[in-house]
Amino acid sequence: MKIHTALCFKPEDLSRYLTSVGLEDFGKKEYEILIAFCFRKMLEIQKGYKDYSICFPSKETLSKELDSLIGTSKPISSLGEILDTFVNEDTLIDVIYLNPIEAEKPKIYPVQIKRFGHGAQAQGGTDGLITFLDSMKRFPQNENSLVISLEGSFTNVHLPTITKWINENGIPFREVVVLTKDAAQGVTYCQLKPNNGKHVCSHLTKDEILRFG
């Protein structure tokens, strides 16, 4: 997996891009950016991971084209097109939190993002999420965090059962986190792995998510 600085962004820039698109026009990439943005804020508040840029894995075959983007001024509206063109989708990692960018050995926090509960999964509930997690066991052991955005609410997913299943069956990711979003209330974040036998949840208001510094 290759990280190119042209695909590393400040959270403020991503926030401006999402605002420019508008929720009604969000596609897969915009939802991934939103989830990545929310998870970064959780890392900042819970683990003190401040000043981390949000980066995306790049296609190595387009390195020269990415080099040409460095130092150029692009309108924020072009960010989506840049991501569609240059981001490598064929990897276990969807987003990398990196700090500092210019360091020879920067600190990195790799994450894979999944959405659960939309489309055919709308009525998935606890059993459906367990089936989904079981399908994740096909991946090799890795040091990535698996961040699952639960579409809708937590009411039909019993997190203690999910946590117990993870403890008993294992999953190849270093960390498993679920997020649920509410346009008015903010984001609820629950860590299912690692754990001490039970999941741990916290909540961020919309104002906390959008606050920088």
Q: In what order do the strands lie in the sheet with 186-193?
A: 2-9, 53-58, 95-99, 107-116, 145-150, 175-182, 186-193, 200-204
Q: With the CA atoms of 5, 6, 7 and 8 taken in that order, what torsion angle do they form, in degrees rounded to the nearest 10?
A: 50
Q: Which residue has the tokens 């965090």?
A: 145
Per the document, the length of the chain is: 213
97 contacts 41 by C-beta, under 8 angstroms: no
Q: What pLDDT score does 112 carry? A: 94
Q: Going residue by residue through the chain, which has 213 residues, state the pLDDT in tens, using 9 for 90 and above.
A: 678 888 888 888 888 888 888 777 888 888 888 888 888 888 887 777 777 889 999 988 888 888 888 767 767 778 888 888 899 988 899 999 988 766 677 788 999 999 887 766 666 689 989 999 999 999 999 999 999 988 765 557 899 999 999 999 999 999 999 988 776 677 888 999 998 878 988 888 877 776 654
Question: What pLDDT score was predicted for residue 81?
Answer: 87
- The total domain count for the chain is 1
Non-local CB neighbours of 158 within 8 Å, separated by 6+ positions: 126
Question: What is the extent of the structural domain holding 142?
Answer: 2-210
Residue 111's pLDDT is 94
Q: What is the pLDDT of residue 131?
A: 92
Q: Give whole-number Cα distances, 17 to 47, 82, 130, 174, in Å.
A: 26, 12, 34, 30
Please report which residue ranges of the chain form alpha helices under DSSP H.
Answer: 11-21, 28-47, 63-67, 79-86, 125-135, 159-169, 206-210
- The span from the CA of 77 to the CA of 162, in Å, is 39
Q: What is the 3-state secondary structure (H, E, C) of 49-81?
A: CCCCEEEEEECHHHHHHHHCCCCCCCCHHHHHH
**pTM, to two decimals:** 0.85
Q: Is the peptide bond before 11 cis (omega within 30 degrees of 0)?
A: no
CB 4 within 8 A of CB 66: yes
Whole-number pLDDT of residue 95: 93
Percentage helix, strand, coil, to 5, in the chain? 40, 25, 35
pLDDT computed for residue 155 by the predictor: 57
DSSP SS3 for 98: strand
196 by Cβ neighbours in 10 Å (0-12 / 13-18 / 19+) ranks as exposed
